[in-house]
């Protein structure tokens, strides 16, 4: 299990079935095109 874990997140058309696990001590970037759901994902966390 990671320090941060999300399973099957969905919100409108921006996010559908997103799952991830971030290990303790890792450095992670969220990248994507405009309107791809980056801010929506971070807002849900």
**How confident is the model at residue 34, as a pLDDT?**
94
pLDDT at 32: 93
Q: How confident is residue 37, by pLDDT bands cut at 50, 70 and 90?
A: confident
Look at residue 39 and give its three-state secondary structure: helix
Measuring CA to CA, which residue among 24, 21, 26 is closest to residue 5?
A: 21
Residue with the bigger pLDDT between 16 and 33: it is 33
- Alpha-carbon distance of 3 to 15, in angstroms, equals 21
The structural domains of the chain, with segments of one domain joined by +, span: 3-43
- The pLDDT value recorded for residue 11 is 85
What is the rounded average pLDDT for all residues in the chain? 86
What is the pLDDT at residue 1? 57
């Amino acid at each position: 299990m990671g320090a941060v874990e999300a399973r099957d997140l969905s919100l409108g058309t921006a996010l559908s079935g997103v799952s991830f696990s971030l290990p303790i001590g890792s450095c992670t970037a969220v990248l994507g095109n405009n309107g791809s759901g980056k801010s929506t994902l971070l807002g849900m966390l």
